[in-house]
Amino acid sequence: AQSVAQPEDQVNVAEGNPLTVKCTYSVSGNPYLFWYVQYPNRGLQFLLKYITGDNLVKGSYGFEAEFNKSQTSFHLKKPSALVSDSALYFCAVRDFNSGSARQLTFGSGTQLTVLP
Amino acid sequence: GAVVSQHPSWVICKSGTSVKIECRSLDFQATTMFWYRQFPKQSLMLMATSNEGSKATYEQGVEKDKFLINHASLTLSTLTVTSAHPEDSSFYICSAFRLAGAQTQYFGPGTRLLVL
């Protein structure tokens, strides 16, 4: 079974400061890891993914995430937050070895608020 | 980038009526699509996996006779909520699995259903 934990329901950060949204995962095999962002009353927008290769993954809108296998983490980061980054962020995982099962397992979401 | 559309974006209906929601992958073929349900300030709950040309696979606890899924082509899946009741009111989101490009799911903008 695969699972994702986002330990923080809410993260507040001042505009211009660095931000981190935490995510840890559990899979039986190798993970595919994803970050999505959701604005109010909208679907999810893909931000970035880790499949293989470099542990530091760069994505849309200046976001990046670092895959840490020993800590089973995939924290989302941005060096300088913008007010427009305020949204709901979801981490998701899929087991690389899950064969034909392609569904993602999502974390509970973290509401990011960037204060002006 | 990959685009997934949903129609309608919102719908209000009377209790007992049926509502059909369409999910289309606009610029890629999707052999697999997923239907999710999201309650306010909560994560996405996978309802079913829709496979082109075959029966959908439903998650435990999801009534297949109530939530009818049809995946008639490589770009279209439909979810029909039959005999809708107020407790079916929710935000329904579809996603399409893009095999090309390292296996990323792309999400539709969601459909807000309100059953009176």
Are A90 and B4 inside 8 Å of each other by CB? no
The pLDDT, as a whole number, for residue B68 is 95
A106 touches chain B (CB under 8 A): yes
pLDDT tops 60 at residue B69: yes
The pLDDT, as a whole number, for residue A99 is 58
pLDDT tens-digit readout, A17-34: 999 999 999 988 888 999
pLDDT tens-digit readout, A29-63: 888 999 999 988 788 898 999 988 899 999 999 99
pLDDT tens-digit readout, A72-86: 999 999 999 999 999
Question: Which pair of structure tokens corresponds to residue A11?
Answer: 């993260």
Are A49 and B106 inside 8 Å of each other by CB? no
Q: Across residues B57-75, what is the average pLDDT?
A: 91
**What phi and psi, each to the nearest 5 degrees, are found at residue A62?**
85, 5
Tokens 């996603």 -> residue:
B95
Q: Across residues B33-48, what is the average pLDDT?
A: 88
Q: Tell me the DSSP string of A39-97.
A: -TT--EEEEEEE-SS-SEEE-GGG-EEEEETTTTEEEEEESS--GGG-EEEEEEEEETT
Q: Could you tell me which residues come within 8 angstroms of residue A54 by beta carbon, excluding any fewer than 6 positions away?
A: none
What is chain A's mean pLDDT, rounded? 91
Contacts of A46 in chain B (CB under 8 A): 104-107
B114 touches chain A (CB under 8 A): no
